[in-house]
Amino acid sequence: MGTTITAYDTIAAISTPPGEGAISIVRLSGEAALQTAAKVYHGKNLLKVPTNTINYGHIIDPDSGETVDEVMVSVLRGPKTYTREDMVEINCHGGIVSTNRVLQLLLGAGARMAEPGEFTKRAFLNGRIDLTEAESVMDLIRAKTDRAMQVAVDQLDGDLRRLITNLRQEILEVLAQVEVNIDYPEYDTDQMTTKMLQEKAQLVLSRVDELLQTASQGKVLREGLATAIVGRPNVGKSSLLNHMMHEDKAIVTDVPGTTRDVLEEYVNVRGVPLKLVDTAGIRDTDDKVEKIGVERSRQAITKADLIILVLDASQPLTAEDEALIKATAAKKRIVVLNKQDLPAQLDQTQLAALVPAEQLIRTSILKAEGVAALDQQIASLFFGGIENSQTTVMVTNSRQIGLLRQAKASLQSVLAGIEAGMPIDLVQIDMTAAWDKLGEITGDAAPDELITQLFSQFCLGK
Ligand SMILES: Nc1nc2c(c(=O)[nH]1)N(C=O)[C@@H](CNc1ccc(C(=O)N[C@@H](CCC(=O)O)C(=O)O)cc1)CN2
Ligand SMILES: Nc1nc2c(ncn2[C@@H]2O[C@H](COP(=O)(O)OP(=O)(O)OP(=O)(O)O)[C@@H](O)[C@H]2O)c(=O)[nH]1
Ligand SMILES: [Mg+2]
């Protein structure tokens, strides 16, 4: 990742969402961005206007002389731009047809259609941002809660980049020292070298461990916590989903077996994004459609990170309830004892023997009672720790997590090697591997295919 800017061709894309809007932006980046725009623009000479100015004018079809749109054009000269290249942004009236015409004219004037994420990719290739910052751009766009957005903004600010860069620096220093000591063996510094390597490996390992501990929460923030609402028919699962959504999404009736299919919705519960899955009530059934639904419910249990098991307090515990309690016992779970507004029929002592008290929440969804306690339980299950520590750097995506795990394994090999009295140059190899893996996180040592693959997941025009 150099600081000198390689010349890339000039790319163009519509950077606003497709559809009708008040304004839409067509963006250009590359060596010939200004010249390309100037070919289709009538107004001040874009090649002469000061940088970071916005200029009023018209887009004209150079072939027909026809006016295509009335626009405002930003001129942004590199290297102080998003991509570090010369950039032009054309603010069009938000019509689909006219915005597309403007893009087509730019392509006719010599620009190439940008690939998804290519603007951000150039910001990376030109050294303005590292891979963690680039990834955070995507996280920021997709963030579903304030908290997830904050984590992304911090990462965009370079928090993770700085942390990883510092760790790599620590490793590099010790590796350089080892190198010197190997070159001058007459100083008999072997023991010192080993001790230094060991201390450094321990230090870096503990930092990597701290980061990895944020991973499960980070992933939940980013992707949402897969939460399955399960229970036998008619206990109030769909009612619970609707209540949490503040919206009547699922069909609720007093007919058992109402929900036939699995319904997925995103909700934000006190900062925890849940991917909530309403399932068909589980029971033995001969109904063909319901049977498939029940099978899907069982799969939803397997896939879920969190289970909300709903029971009906107004009826005795059934064999199906018991089977479900047992089937979900090993999972992270909250058991909701619903219909508290009706006369109680369920045997509390029988239940207490099956479900730990701290997992139990009593509700009447009909009367909107007890649901706040449920929200609280979900929040404390997952954010008990981090809500108070706003400043922690978090790792949020599986690519970063995977590389941290690999770095950890290499550091553990360093320590095991030293322990076993292995020769220093072998230990050195593992230490170097850790340095490499950390470098892949920031992109300082990332293979080309990875970079291509990573940016292809971006939106067009970003
Ligand atoms: N119109 C518009 N709005 C936008 C963007 C854009 O590209 N265009 N952005 C696109 O995602 C975001 C803003 N992100 C940006 C990040 C860095 C720079 C930039 O020019 N950085 C330079 C110089 C900064 C300065 O003048 O101090 C640099 O870091 O060298 C610009 C936008 C959100 N809003
Ligand atoms: N009295 C009372 N009735 C409730 C409560 N919660 C839900 N109900 C009613 O119970 C019936 C079933 O609710 P649903 O939400 O459809 O139940 P479900 O678990 O999704 O049922 P299936 O989709 O058939 O598995 C409806 O008539 C609801 O209005 C509650 O707290 N108290
Ligand atoms: Mg239902």
What is the 3-state secondary structure of 248-267? Answer: CCCCCCCCCCCCCCCEEEEE
Single residue among 338, 367, 386 that ends a domain in this structure? 386
Q: Which numbered ligand comes closest to the C-alpha of 136?
A: 1
Could you tell me the end-to-end alpha-carbon distance of the chain, in angstroms, rounded to an integer? Answer: 20
Residue with the smallest CA separation from ligand 2 atom 12 is 234
Residue 334 in domain: yes
Residue 115 structure tokens:
């690939």
Residues 165 and 256 grouped into a single domain: no
Single residue among 386, 407, 424 that ends a domain in this structure? 386
* Amino acid letter for position 192: M
Domain count, the chain: 3
Residue recorded with tokens 């990719």 = 121
Contacts of 177-181 with C-beta under 8 Å, sequence gap 24+, read 178/424, 178/428, 178/431
Residues 165 and 123 grouped into a single domain: no
Residue recorded with tokens 């970071």 = 52
Residue 452 in domain: no
Residue recorded with tokens 């063909």 = 288
Residue 100 structure tokens:
């597309």
Residue 376 has pLDDT above 80, yes or no: yes
Q: For residue 79, is the peptide bond before it cis, meaning its omega torsion is within 30 degrees of 0?
A: yes
Residue 122 has pLDDT above 90, yes or no: yes
> What's the gap in Å between 223 CA and the centre of ligand 2?
29
Quick one: pLDDT at residue 286? Answer: 74
Residues 287 and 378 grouped into a single domain: yes
Residue 2 has pLDDT above 60, yes or no: no
Tell how strand 306-312 and strand 225-230 pair up: parallel
Residues 366 and 321 grouped into a single domain: yes
pLDDT band at 289 (very low <50, low <70, confident <90, very high): low
What contacts 5, CB < 8 A, 6 or more positions away?
A: 78, 79, 84, 85, 126, 127
Quick one: pLDDT at residue 188? Answer: 61
Q: Is the CB of 230 under 6 A from ligand 2?
A: no
Q: Domain of 350?
A: 223-386
Q: Phi and psi at residue 36, in whole multiples of 5°?
A: -65, -45
Lowest mean pLDDT among 102-106, 127-131, 273-277, 348-352: 273-277
The answer for 66, left when phi > 0, alpha when psi is -120 to 50, beta otherwise, is beta
Residue 204 in domain: yes
Residue 379 structure tokens:
């929040």
Tell me if residue 324 falls in helix, strand or coil. helix
**Which of 82, 86, 92, 153 has most ligand 1 atoms within 8 Å of CB, for mutation?**
82
Q: Is the CB of 281 under 6 A from ligand 2?
A: yes
For 189-210, letters b (16+ CB in 10 Å) and e give beeebbebbbebbeebbebbee
Alpha-carbon distances, residue 412 vs 187, 395, 407, 417 (angstroms): 28, 20, 9, 8
* Amino acid letter for position 368: A
Tell how strand 112-113 and strand 11-14 pair up: parallel
Residues 230 and 207 grouped into a single domain: no
Residue 448 in domain: no
Q: Is the CB of 136 under 6 A from ligand 2?
A: no
* Amino acid letter for position 286: D
Residue 354 in domain: yes
> What's the gap in Å between 368 CA and the centre of ligand 3?
17
This complex has an ipTM of 0.74
> What's the gap in Å between 179 CA and the centre of ligand 2?
70
Q: Phi and psi at residue 105, in whole multiples of 5°?
A: -60, -40
CATH number at residue 286: 3.40.50.300
Q: Can you give the three-state secondary structure of 3-45, one letter per residue? A: CCCCCCCCEEEECCCCCCCCEEEEEEECCCHHHHHHHHEECCC
Q: Is 75 exposed, middle or buried (0-12, 13-18, 19+ CB in 10 A)?
A: buried
Q: What CA–CA distance (Å, rounded) separates 85 from 28?
A: 10
Residues 25 and 111 grouped into a single domain: yes
Query: Which residues contact ligand 1 via a Cβ below 6 A?
Result: 80-82, 89, 128
Q: Phi and psi at residue 277, in whole multiples of 5°?
A: -120, 115
Residue 458 in domain: no
- 234 among annotated binding-site residues: yes
Q: Is the CB of 218 under 6 A from ligand 2?
A: no
Residue 154 has pLDDT above 60, yes or no: yes
Quick one: pLDDT at residue 263? Answer: 80
> What's the gap in Å between 289 CA and the centre of ligand 2?
20
Residue recorded with tokens 């990597």 = 208
Q: Could you tell me the strand order of the sheet in which 306-312 lies?
A: 263-269, 272-278, 225-230, 306-312, 333-338, 360-362
Q: Are 306 and 334 in contact (CB under 8 A)?
A: yes
Mean pLDDT over 375-391 rounds to 69
Residue 145 has pLDDT above 90, yes or no: no
Residues 161 and 294 grouped into a single domain: no
pTM for this model (two decimals): 0.78
Residues that place a CB less than 5 A from ion ligand 3 = 237-238, 258-259
Residue (of 297, 304, 349) closest to 323 by Cα position: 297
Residues 166 and 207 grouped into a single domain: yes
Mean pLDDT score of the chain, rounded to an integer? 90
Residues 111 and 187 grouped into a single domain: no
**Which of 239, 249, 314 has most ligand 2 atoms within 8 Å of CB, for mutation?**
239
> What's the gap in Å between 193 CA and the centre of ligand 3?
65
Q: Give the whole-number percent of the chain exceeding pLDDT 90.
A: 64
Residue 2 in domain: no
CATH number at residue 25: 3.30.1360.120
Residues 254 and 356 grouped into a single domain: yes
Residue with the smallest CA separation from ligand 1 atom 15 is 82
Mean pLDDT over 336-340 rounds to 97
Residue 366 structure tokens:
């009909």
Residues 341 and 399 grouped into a single domain: no
Residue 299 in domain: yes
> What's the gap in Å between 121 CA and the centre of ligand 3?
45
Quick one: pLDDT at residue 297? Answer: 76
Residue 20 has pLDDT above 80, yes or no: yes
Residues 403 and 373 grouped into a single domain: no
CATH number at residue 208: 1.20.120.430
Single residue among 364, 386, 408 that ends a domain in this structure? 386
